[in-house]
């Protein structure tokens, strides 16, 4: 929208790339995907990988607890003032797609209170395959599925798998135990996503979140360019 | 301007954060005060004639141009529970964002700057209605209806209540909603001459007390 328009007073237009004082706002990346696929674990690993080179903050969207925020606090991946939990009233996808106001407030408050920030990660509450983030809330979105949820998920497609800027297929370490065929998952994902990237990841493995962290660095370079 | 703007403002999908709040229904369900459609209707009736009336009068007064700062103070004074005051400001801030994007106006910009963390939701609702070219009665209807529609949709989720029963309960409240909206506008017109002290101050102590307890629950579905 008005990418170079500077507002007086609080921002009204969510996707504006500038804050009310005219400075460039942080890049916002959303992480969505089914319950338990590894969103919080990926956020935690990204914080550890990037916190020494970037100024970071996290917004979690829990469905009925503050568990994700509390996990991140317990793991001390970031100082507590950089982690905010949003309450979503039983509808996680509403808060990231149809009515993003509470999340926008959370990201803006983080920038005001602990900024300047380079990057804000917004984790959605675990949801179904149709949940995607509004472009008014995030600049890019990652969809996280895992090999244990069934190796036919990439074939089923749906907006998350098909349109996310990055698809993570997580927990590849479990593939032998649950009988998931990674080659088939990769081929199906290719059909659904054409040129959009896919990362197969195990947070238990040595490489961990490295490939995703590199992708985030690239997005950030493009954002600040 | 257009009357149809009221449909936009009153639409349950208007993106102003209401979906995360139950209007006290979650606490009432847990306490066994709402167990079905009948309980929901009584709960909503009580809320309509207390919180609903006060909110509707505040909103109508804002449309009539009563000073938003004074109205915000009046709303504070009529909301004993700190948790409910915080929720009302949060919702006011969210509504302000949606209203400014929907009906851009210098007046909304000024109030947003004056209350960066939010003014009470009914006050902002009135200002939004004003920016949309609506009448005091429109804003009063919108506030009064929200006071019952929020708990109804939350209860559908909390109790897996039959959605047709919940909607029926709302429809049965319609004649009372008419009366509350009229009363609210009358009070708001008085407030133009006599100041916000003359606005209604009907309160539901149990809603205030339960809201305080609810805010301390570690596990809950709704923010208020
Ligand atoms: N084996 C294995 N387990 C993993 C991996 N990544 C995450 N987990 C585990 O999977 C479980 C769920 O991970 P979370 O990160 O909480 O998943 P989530 O997507 O945030 O879950 P919700 O927020 O509840 O939807 C945890 O026990 C993690 O430790 C992985 O790569 N391999
Ligand atoms: Mg999580």
Q: What is the maximal distance between C-alpha atoms in chain A?
A: 57
Q: Do A89 and B154 touch (CB under 8 A)?
A: yes
Q: What is the pLDDT of residue A17?
A: 80
**Contacts of A206 by beta carbon, 8 Å cutoff, 6+ apart:** none
User: Has residue A202 been placed in a domain?
Assistant: yes
A20 in a structural domain = no
pLDDT of residue B90: 96
Of A9, A91, A101, the CB nearest to B109: A9
Task: Map A119-173 to HEC letters.
Answer: EEEEECCCECCCCCCCCCCCCEEEEEEEHHHCCCHHHHCCHHHHHCCEEEEECHH
Residue with tokens 């708001």: B188
- Arithmetic mean of pLDDT, B66-74: 98
Residue A13 is predicted with a pLDDT of 56
What is the arithmetic mean of pLDDT over B21-38?
96
Residue B143: other Cβ atoms inside 10 A: 30
- In chain A, at which residue ranges do the beta strands (DSSP E only) sit? 27-32, 56-62, 83-87, 119-123, 140-146, 166-170, 198-200
A8 located within any domain: no
Per-residue CA distances from B83 to A111, A125, B76, B116, B200 (Å):
25, 24, 11, 18, 21
Alpha carbons B19 and B91: distance in angstroms, whole number: 10
On whether the CB atoms of residues B123 and B75 are closer than 8 A, the answer is: yes
Number of domains in chain A: 1
Q: Is position A9 within any domain?
A: no
Ligand 1 atom 32 nearest Cα: A171
In angstroms, the CA B81 to CA B88 distance is: 11
The residue nearest atom 2 of ligand 1, judged by CA position, is A171
Among B12, B15, B89, the residue to mutate for chain A (most A Cβ within 10 A) = B15
Its ipTM equals 0.84
* Residue A164 placed within a domain: yes
Residue B21 has pLDDT above 90, yes or no: yes
Q: Where are the domains of chain B?
A: 17-82+134-215
A84 beta partners: A59
pLDDT of residue A88: 86
Residue A129 has a pLDDT of: 85
What are the pocket residues of ligand 1 if the criterion is a CB atom closer than 6 Å to any ligand atom?
A 35-41, 68, 126, 170-171, 173-174, 202-204
> B149-198 pLDDT, tens per residue?
999 999 999 999 999 999 999 999 999 999 999 999 999 999 999 999 99
* CATH assignment of the domain containing A69: 3.40.50.300
Q: Is residue A18 part of a domain?
A: no
Q: Which of B56, B63, B85, B91 is nearest to B199 (CA)?
A: B56
∠ CA B104-B102-B142, nearest 5°, is 110
Residue among A12, A66, A102 whose CB faces B20 most closely: A102
Query: What φ, ψ does residue B6 adopt, rounded to 5°?
Result: -60, -35
Q: Is A15 among the domain residues?
A: no
Cα torsion B57, B22, B40, B145 to 10°: value is 30
CA atoms within 13 A on the CB side of A194: 1
- Identify the domain containing residue A218 by its residue range: 27-224
**Percentage of chain B surpassing pLDDT 70?**
100
Query: What tokens does B23 get?
Result: 């209007």
A contacts of B157 (beta carbons < 8 Å): 90
Asked if pLDDT for residue B34 goes beyond 60, the answer is yes
What does the pLDDT profile of chain A (225 residues) look like in tens digits? 343 344 445 555 567 788 777 788 999 999 999 999 999 999 999 999 999 999 999 999 987 778 889 999 999 999 999 999 998 887 888 999 999 999 999 999 999 999 899 999 999 988 888 889 999 999 999 999 999 998 999 999 999 999 999 999 999 999 999 999 999 999 999 999 999 999 999 999 999 999 999 999 999 999 998
In angstroms, what CA-CA distances link B199 with A182, B55, B131, B175, B184? 66, 10, 22, 22, 8
For residue B12, the chain A residues in CB contact (below 8 A) are none
Residue A90 resides in a domain = yes
- Residue A83, strand partner residues: A58
* pLDDT of A10: 52
Ligand nearest to the CA of A144: 1
The pLDDT value given to residue A3 = 39
Q: What percent of chain B has pLDDT over 90?
A: 97
Average pLDDT of every residue of chain B = 96
Q: What is the pLDDT of residues A140-166, one digit of tens each?
A: 999 999 999 989 999 999 999 999 999
């Amino acid at each position: 929208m008005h990418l170079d328009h500077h507002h007086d007073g609080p921002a009204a237009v969510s996707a504006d790339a500038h804050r009310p004082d005219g400075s460039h706002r942080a890049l916002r990346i959303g992480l969505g995907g089914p319950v338990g696929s590894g969103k919080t674990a990926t956020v935690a690993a990204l914080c550890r990988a990037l916190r020494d080179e970037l100024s970071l903050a996290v917004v979690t969207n829990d469905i009925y607890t503050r568990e994700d925020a509390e996990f991140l606090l317990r793991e001390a991946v970031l100082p507590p003032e950089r982690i905010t939990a949003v309450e979503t009233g039983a509808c996680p996808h509403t808060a990231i797609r149809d009515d993003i106001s509470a999340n926008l407030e959370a990201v803006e408050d983080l920038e005001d209170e602990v900024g300047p920030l380079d990057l804000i990660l917004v984790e959605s509450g675990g949801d179904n395959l149709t949940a995607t983030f509004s472009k008014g809330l995030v600049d890019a979105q990652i969809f996280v599925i895992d090999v244990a949820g069934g190796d036919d998920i990439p074939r089923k497609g749906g907006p998350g798998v098909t349109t996310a800027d990055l698809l993570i297929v997580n927990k590849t370490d479990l593939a032998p135990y649950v009988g998931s065929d990674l080659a088939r998952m990769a081929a199906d994902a290719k059909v659904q996503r054409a040129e959009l990237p896919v990362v197969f990841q195990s947070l238990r493995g040595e490489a961990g979140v490295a490939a995703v962290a590199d992708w985030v660095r690239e997005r950030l370079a493009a954002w600040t360019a | 301007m257009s009357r149809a703007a009221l449909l936009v403002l009153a639409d349950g999908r208007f993106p102003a954060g209401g979906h995360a709040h139950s209007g006290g229904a979650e606490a009432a369900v847990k306490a066994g005060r709402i167990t079905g459609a009948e309980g929901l209707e009584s709960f909503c009736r009580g809320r309509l004639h207390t919180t609903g009336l006060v909110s509707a009068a505040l909103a109508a007064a804002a449309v009539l141009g009563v000073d938003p700062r004074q109205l915000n103070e009046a709303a504070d004074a009529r909301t004993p529970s700190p948790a409910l005051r915080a929720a009302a400001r949060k919702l006011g801030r969210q509504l302000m964002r949606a209203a400014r994007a929907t009906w851009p106006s210098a007046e909304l910009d000024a109030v947003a700057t004056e209350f960066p963390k939010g003014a009470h939701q009914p006050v902002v609702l009135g200002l939004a209605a004003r920016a949309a070219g609506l009448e005091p009665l429109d804003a009063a209807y919108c506030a009064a209806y929200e006071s019952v529609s929020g708990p109804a949709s939350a209860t559908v989720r909390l109790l897996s209540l039959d959605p047709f029963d919940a909607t029926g309960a709302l429809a049965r409240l319609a004649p009372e909603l008419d009366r509350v909206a009229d009363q609210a506008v009358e009070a708001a017109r008085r407030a133009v001459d006599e100041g916000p002290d003359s606005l209604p101050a009907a309160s539901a102590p149990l809603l205030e007390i339960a809201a305080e307890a609810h805010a301390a629950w570690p596990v809950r579905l709704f923010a208020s």
